[in-house]
Amino acid sequence: MKLLFIGDIVGSVGRAAVKQVLPALIDKYHPHIVIANGENAAHGRGITASIAKDLFTWGVHGITMGNHTWDNKDIFEWIDDEPRIVRPANFPPGTPGQGSAIIRANGKKLAIVNLQGRTFLPPIDCPFREADEQLERVRKETKCVLVDFHAEATSEKIAMGWHLDGRASLVVGTHTHVQTNDETILPGGTAYITDAGMVGSREGVLGMERTAVLSKFKTQLPARFVVDEGKWQFHGVYAELDETNGRATTIEKIRLTEDEWLIMS
């Protein structure tokens, strides 16, 4: 199975980059399934039904979320009716939406699981215990499992990679918006990267307009952050999985910029 994961999509700049670049990535890698993190897709905070529809139209098959899941309040009206979107599974019981899903596309079947870290983020249920429960359940349907661990601390992400080695096919970190250079296949066959990076403006700070961010750091006064409208960068991960055992055989970073992104097939 060929799999493409797109890092955190930030605002209109990130969405425009996905619309522009994804067809070329599909032509190059021929992925069976495309998954994207969409928790910052609407003005940098949350997602809307119309944006989710656009992403699906452009070729995304499943969307993962994170700590900004509920920032657009209308999500409560439709998330239970959209089986292709997952929010962190370790949100408290009774939370709308689902923490895992089975994505079917191009004759393939992939389980996606979303988890949120607890270090430097709001209190939430244990992601490690929840990971155990989710993996035990979804692996009954398919051995190919992608886990999006939306977390701040690199140590917590690395620990999750080792925790799921041999059980998840790919553990990809999101949330920090900075692509790491540690992609690897762990001994048990799990492909891992601490952070896939983001799709959004490279002229701001983590996709947000830099003037307000600088003011906040320098003065410690309240500042209103808005999505930066500068030139984009596109970060993601490509992986290949052995469907007979769920193990990864390939992991490759994708790193493109608006000024130079021509993709040779």
Residues with active-site annotation: 68
Helical residues (DSSP H) of the chain, grouped into ranges: 11-29, 49-58, 75-78, 127-138, 154-163, 210-219
Report whether 195 contacts 179 (CB < 8 A).
yes
Burial level of 27, CB count in 10 A (0-12/13-18/19+)? Answer: exposed
Instruction: Report the 10 Å Cβ neighbour count for 249.
Output: 13
Burial level of 57, CB count in 10 A (0-12/13-18/19+)? Answer: exposed
Instruction: Report the 10 Å Cβ neighbour count for 152.
Output: 17
Q: Which residues contact 259 (CB under 8 A, 6 or more apart)?
A: 231
CA-angle at 69, arms to 66 and 71, nearest 5°: 135
Helical residues (DSSP H) of 59-174, grouped into ranges: 75-78, 127-138, 154-163
Q: Which two tokens stand for residue 142?
A: 């398919």
Round to whole Å and give the CA distance between 66 and 58.
22
Q: Compute CA distances 143 → 2, 79, 117, 131, whole Å.
A: 14, 26, 24, 15
Closest CA to 92 of 118, 57, 112, 71: 118
